[in-house]
Every structure is written in C-alpha cells, then in structure tokens.
Amino acid sequence: MQSSSDIEEVMRKSLALAIQILRSQSASIFLLSKNGVLERKAIHGVDANSREIPPDWFPTESYGIGESFSGKAAASASKSSFGQPYWSEDLSVAELDETSKKEYLEKLGSLRCAAAVPLKITKPQNP
C-alpha cells in the first residue's frame, strides 16, 4: 500500500514534468471527492515573482462539475462520463469563479491561457 507522501511525490513530479513539457507557469491536479466536488490536491509552479507556489496555497480551491474553468473539463458533453478537454486562449473572457480569479491573479500576476484535461482511472477488473 502506498503512503500519502508517495502519492504526493508522484503528483509533484507529474506536475513538474507537465510544466516543463507545456512551458507553463503552473499546473494543478484535482481529484473528484466522494461528494462529487473537484478538490485541488496538488499545485506546482512559480508565482509572479518567480517564487515556488507553496502546496498549501489557496487550500479551499474546489469546483462543482461544470463550474468555473476546471469544473468544465469534468463535465460530460456526451453519454460518456469521462469529461472532455477544456481550454482558453483568453482567460479574460472565460467563465471563472470570482474568488479563484482574484486568488490566481494575485498569485500569478496575470491570467492569459489555460487548459484542463480530465483523466479517468479505472480499477482493473479481476479475471
């Protein structure tokens, strides 16, 4: 069984790799809670002053399915329950949660573009 510190390390390394590949300022991982809310479990990147964003920054960040930017990726546009990629090349016109918009503007300095991609992990079926 993996410890929570092992999982946190995997998330941190995954986000660091995503930032490197995508050349982005920050990246986050949200997990769907048992009550159907996307909760941010990890964040990695740098703020407007090139300082590392601490993992406990904005700890209450969460979204309902279909709400704000991240929640839209988890919403399903078809009969599939996998959600769909969601992106914006101009976040100034994107539908964003006002609290999140304020927090991110203050931390990152600007909001230009973003992408959210749902990932579905299924348990392997027993043979």
What would the pLDDT profile of 15-35 be if each residue is shown by its tens digit?
999 999 999 999 999 999 999
Q: What is the average per-residue pLDDT within 93-108?
A: 94
Residue 127 included in any domain? no
Residue 123 included in any domain? no
Structure pTM?
Answer: 0.86
Residue 25 included in any domain? yes
**pLDDT at 6 (0 to 100):** 87
Q: Which domain holds residue 69?
A: 4-116
- Write down the residue that tokens 């929570």 correspond to: 4
What distance in Å separates the CA atoms of residue 10 and residue 92, rounded to the nearest whole number? 32
Nearest to 48 by CA among 111, 126, 108: 108
**pLDDT at 116 (0 to 100):** 94
Q: What is the pLDDT of residues 49-96, one digit of tens each?
A: 999 999 999 999 999 999 999 999 988 766 566 788 999 999 988 989
- For β-strands 114-116 and 37-45, DSSP reports them as unpaired
**pLDDT at 115 (0 to 100):** 95
Structural domain count, the chain: 1
Residue 112 included in any domain? yes
Residue 126 included in any domain? no
Q: What angle do CA 54, 59, 61 make, to 5 degrees?
A: 120
Residue 109 neighbours by CB distance under 10 Å: 11
What distance in Å separates the CA atoms of residue 27 and residue 6, rounded to the nearest whole number? 19
How does residue 44 score in pLDDT terms, banded at 50, 70 and 90?
Answer: very high
Task: Count how many residues are written for the chain.
Answer: 127
On the question of pLDDT at 125 being above 70, the answer is: no
Residue 121 included in any domain? no
Residue 122 included in any domain? no
**pLDDT at 79 (0 to 100):** 57
**pLDDT at 120 (0 to 100):** 76
What string of H, E and C letters represents the secondary structure of 2-35? CCHHHHHHHHHHHHHHHHHHHCCCEEEEEEECCC
Residue 124 included in any domain? no
Chain-centroid distance of CA 31 in Å reads 9
